[in-house]
A and B are shown apart, each in its own frame.
Chain A
């Protein structure tokens, strides 16, 4: 039978299948962070187990860290405790840690790829749902709960049933100003937040192929927002060029061996999926969300829908009420007070370049607070090396130190109740960016333009 990319990698990682349909599934890389690992370490300790393969675990501090003065002790006692606990556990068990101040520190899904830890053909897990990001390399990568974190620590394996397979094909050229973020917001708006529950998604088609690795990561990152276990893209020259030479990438003889294998990782002609969707890239325009789940997205120039599927009206109304919007309304002209550029979706160097390029010679609106939180120390250093920090500062944007920041507002970077924030992150859930905060998800370009205008505008005027 013809195999899909997903089948090939899945089958290569089955240690054994047990009666009842579950597989003992081997994990190549395990990424951990301060929020979802402490209880797992406790579990291991309580059972008096060693870490089965400690050299396959990499740790970083990201969710809870301040984005100012990272060289000073963390002010907030509970955050400090979590970060200290991670350090203590990593030291005790001999796990490699990129803690605060380390040159490799950053958001777990940004550092894996940039250090070459993430490679095609791998299985990668992390106690964080956006682990799907790593699928951009042609890896099976997905988020797990803390009990599973402990399972991987104890055995390097998980007990899983093989998910169903979905392929989403997007063909054709993308319009100017339409980014990977718009593409994925568009797809999620079509499928809905539960549209891919139970499936593992492969993205294909010429529009996907044309994306850079960073764009592909943005797409795979948000797979979870339509319920998918993960998303993936077959590796190609773009992938190999990106991985080559990175700190943890295979070298010399091993590189050649790896490359030969990676080139076998694609979906064969005639292989079948449980579900397929096709989209035309030319239908996609810059997107923004208006509601409280990422499926509630619209082209920025259109209006909030009036008709919603029967049975969903109550949830829809509740959502609009929270956001302070009305059905049929346009978002154009809405005043915005906060702009957040960051998160594992859009905090990489290409995102920062887009923002810096746009704001060069411009000023943010005086009533807007605009913060940019790079995804990692390396991104931050690169931005400084390219002089982006100066361009951003001149335009009134604040470049912070790396972490998850206002993506989930566990640290002090919170959006006040009732305020609107145009955010490049991935979730617009109620209170996600702070109690009562109202989030509108968009691309880095839309976010930058919003900061300058101080309100939502139809960005097409800037595109020529």
Chain B
């Protein structure tokens, strides 16, 4: 996993609520047996029409917007547990998703892949949408070690929460497997306490 520290970039707005992982990456594109290449089909059915031409009114196709930060409506990533959704977003060049609410499985999947799910209040999300609408070039600075993001246009710093262990993992590029494998003895000791049925 790539290390994550500070991201300074423009943002792409998707002011739609309840974006489910079927929209992020439709099931028919889940047939690959590797992790790469899903970015191509990110938001496939919103991004392209039936003949595969980009839809001009979709934010990802709009040259006004660019950057490594996706700003999306409440309850982002609900539905299917497919980790391919996090892979697709990462593969398309994003490192941060900002929303006022994340579905649990998506949040975990994102963190396991170096993609930061950054939760803000509903009001803050609204302000961000308005700001980006007003000035598509708006830059945001996401500082993970300090757990804050900075909006230069407002000269305002906003703190955010993240699990400390997950924060360390992101900053150092570690993942849970390394840690869990190191727990082998404790796990075996635990197993010996459950002798029957299971």
Chain A residues in the interface with B (C-beta under 8 A):
15-16, 18, 20-22, 24, 26, 28, 35-36, 38-39, 42-43, 47, 49, 52, 63-64, 78-79, 81-82, 85, 119, 121-122, 127-129, 143-148, 150-151, 154-159, 161, 163, 193-194, 197-198, 224, 227, 229, 250, 254, 257-258, 261, 293, 311-312, 314-315, 318, 408-410, 417, 427, 429-432, 435-436
When the two chains form their complex, are residues B187 and A128 in contact, meaning their CB atoms are under 8 A apart? no
Complex alpha-carbon distance, A430 and B31, angstroms: 19
When the two chains form their complex, are residues B31 and A417 in contact, meaning their CB atoms are under 8 A apart? no
Residue numbers in B under 8 Å from A436 (CB-CB): 45, 50
Looking across the interface, which residue of chain A has its beta carbon closest to that of B122?
A311
Cβ of B148 to closest chain A Cβ, rounded Å: 19
Binds A, one of B5-13, B21-29, B137-145, B152-160: B21-29
When the two chains form their complex, are residues B78 and A227 in contact, meaning their CB atoms are under 8 A apart? yes
Complex alpha-carbon distance, A198 and B75, angstroms: 11
Given contacts A16-B183, A257-B197, contact A147 B176 (CB under 8 A): yes
Chain B residues in the interface with A (C-beta under 8 A):
15-18, 20, 22-23, 26-28, 30-35, 45, 50, 73-75, 78-84, 86, 101-105, 108-109, 112-113, 122, 163-165, 175-177, 179-181, 183-184, 186-187, 190-191, 196-198
When the two chains form their complex, are residues A430 and B45 in contact, meaning their CB atoms are under 8 A apart? yes
Complex alpha-carbon distance, A129 and B179, angstroms: 24
Residue numbers in A under 8 Å from B109 (CB-CB): 145-147
Select B187's contact among A18, A157, A427, beta carbons within 8 Å: A157
When the two chains form their complex, are residues A258 and B31 in contact, meaning their CB atoms are under 8 A apart? no
When the two chains form their complex, are residues A21 and B163 in contact, meaning their CB atoms are under 8 A apart? yes
Cβ of A458 to closest chain B Cβ, rounded Å: 29
When the two chains form their complex, are residues A227 and B181 in contact, meaning their CB atoms are under 8 A apart? no
Looking across the interface, which residue of chain A has its beta carbon closest to that of B109?
A145
When the two chains form their complex, are residues B197 and A254 in contact, meaning their CB atoms are under 8 A apart? yes
Select A159's contact among B28, B80, B179, B196, beta carbons within 8 Å: B179
Select A155's contact among B26, B27, B187, beta carbons within 8 Å: B187
When the two chains form their complex, are residues A20 and B105 in contact, meaning their CB atoms are under 8 A apart? no
When the two chains form their complex, are residues B108 and A227 in contact, meaning their CB atoms are under 8 A apart? no
When the two chains form their complex, are residues B177 and A154 in contact, meaning their CB atoms are under 8 A apart? yes
